[in-house]
Structures are given as C-alpha cells and as structure tokens.
C-alpha cells in the first residue's frame, strides 16, 4: 500500500505543476487521480479493520472512525461513481462518432 501511495503522491505532484491546464486529457488525469485516492482510502481503512479484528468494529475504535471517513471520501467528495461517470463522459466526447 505504501508503494501505491507513493506513486499516487508522485502523480498528484506532477499534475500540480500545471494547475491551469484546461484540456480534456488533463482533467481526466485529475479526476482519475481523485478516484484512485478514494479507492486507496477505502482499501487502507479495510486493511486496518481486518488487522484490528473484532475490536475494530466498536464505535469507539479509531479504526471504525477511519472506515467511516473513508466511506465519506468515497461517497461525498465527489463520489467515486460521479468521478467515473465524468471520466467516461469526457472520454466519450473525445472519440469520433
């Protein structure tokens, strides 16, 4: 997971070097990086929960808080579903009919 995080961080830093780029490919890369960050958040929280065991399911557990936060990231900020829909829409707009 650390290697994935490092790769995503490097990718994000490269995107941040041109914050005013406005072509479709760049926007797709940004949306894809956001979707990957949400996915990684979910996977890391699930891993923490599995390693914590039954105590990780208690509402007072820090792991349970991380699980709830990862679900928030995936479903609200914008939702992974919406990121993927926008990526598909932009990708379809690029392809000739």
Distance, in Å, from the CA atom of 22 to the CA atom of 11, rounded to the nearest integer, reads 17
- The whole-angstrom separation of Cα 30 and Cα 23 is 11
| Measured distance CA(49)–CA(18) in Å, rounded | 37
Maximum C-alpha span of the chain: 54
Per residue of the chain (97 residues), give pLDDT as tens.
999 999 999 999 999 999 999 899 999 999 999 999 999 999 999 999 999 999 888 889 999 999 999 999 999 979 999 999 999 999 997 665 5
The domain locations on the chain are: 2-94
Contact between 33 and 15 (Cβ < 8 Å): yes
Backbone φ, ψ for residue 77 (5° rounding): -110, 45
């Amino acid at each position: 997971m650390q290697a994935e995080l490092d790769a995503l961080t490097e990718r994000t830093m490269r995107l941040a070097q041109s914050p005013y780029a406005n072509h479709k490919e760049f926007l797709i890369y940004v949306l894809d990086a956001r979707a990957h960050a949400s996915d990684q958040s979910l996977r890391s929280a699930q891993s923490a929960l599995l390693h914590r065991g039954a105590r990780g399911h208690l509402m007072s557990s820090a792991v349970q808080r991380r699980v709830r936060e990862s679900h928030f990231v995936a479903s609200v900020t914008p939702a992974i579903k919406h990121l993927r829909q926008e990526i598909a829409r932009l990708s379809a707009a690029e392809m000739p009919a």
